Amino acid sequence: MASSANQNINAKLVLLGDVGAGKSSLVLRFVKGQFVEFQESTIGAAFFSQTVAVDDATVKFEIWDTAGQERYHSLAPMYYRGAAAAIIVYDITNQASFDRAKKWVKELQAQGNPNMVMALAGNKSDMVDGRTVAPEDAQTYAQENGLFYLETSAKTATNVNEVFYEIAKRLPRLQQTPNPSGMVLVDRPAESANSASCCS
């Protein structure tokens, strides 16, 4: 049953990561519960939305699935600017994709919203035989950089919903404490502000 304390939160979320890491596949799994073996490489970016309910909130994710191809790199700021959350995806069988993930984290740390909730997703966890990125390395890196880390598989659905739930739980909640000083928090209309400060 919905309580009055339950909040509706809209959250812009961006997926970043190397070509073929599985960004689109994770989104397709999360939004539609599907997986395709031959997912086409994303051109530009694609938009999706999906809602998840956690304990105290219903979070509507507005998801930007970006293209990993280098020629689209310059578009990325349009998608991560103002984002409340990011999932940085690499492929556990591809060390270069882990290096690329670290570069994305650096870029977000330099240019992104400082309060952004960041997840590091080591995708294709079903392909353990081909693993080249050790989970310990990813875990250590994530801890040192303030991300949370999960290994996912878009193919088997392992940990896919979990990444989004964990983000939903970590998003800042709207301030609900009553305003103690009685200050007016809503901006005054322009005309009263003008009349108070007007001069000659």
**Which option in Mg ion, ligand GTP, none does residue 159 bind, with CB closer than 5 to 8 A by kind?**
none
164 close to 52: Cβ distance less than 8 angstroms: yes
Q: Which helix (H) or strand (E) holds 16?
A: strand 7-17
Size of the site for ligand GTP (CB under 6 A): 24
**Which option in ligand GTP, Mg ion, none does residue 139 bind, with CB closer than 5 to 8 A by kind?**
none
Q: Which DSSP category does 162 fall into?
A: H
**Which option in Mg ion, ligand GTP, none does residue 92 bind, with CB closer than 5 to 8 A by kind?**
none
9 close to 58: Cβ distance less than 8 angstroms: yes
- 126 near ligand GTP, judged by CB under 6 A: yes
User: Least distance to ligand GTP from the beta carbon of 98, Å?
Assistant: 13
Angle subtended by helix axes 23-32 and 160-170, to nearest 10: 80
**Which option in ligand GTP, Mg ion, none does residue 100 bind, with CB closer than 5 to 8 A by kind?**
none
- Provide the 10 A C-beta neighbour count for residue 54: 18
- 152 near Mg ion, judged by CB under 5 A: no
- 153 near ligand GTP, judged by CB under 6 A: yes
Cα–Cα distance, 99 to 103 (Å, whole number): 7
Alpha helices in 112-159 (DSSP H): 135-144
Cα–Cα distance, 90 to 36 (Å, whole number): 18
- 122 near ligand GTP, judged by CB under 6 A: no
Among residues 9, 17, 108, 122, the one that binds ligand GTP under rule CB under 6 A: 17
Cα–Cα distance, 46 to 67 (Å, whole number): 8
- The closest residue (CB) to ligand GTP is 68
User: Tokens for 135?
Assistant: 């989970």
Binding positions for Mg ion, 39-98, rule CB under 5 A: 42
Interface map 9-38 toward Mg ion (x if CB under 5 A): --------------xx--------------
Binding residues (CB under 6 A) for ligand GTP: these are 17, 19-25, 36-39, 41-42, 67-69, 123-124, 126-127, 153-155
Binding residues (CB under 5 A) for Mg ion: these are 23-24, 42
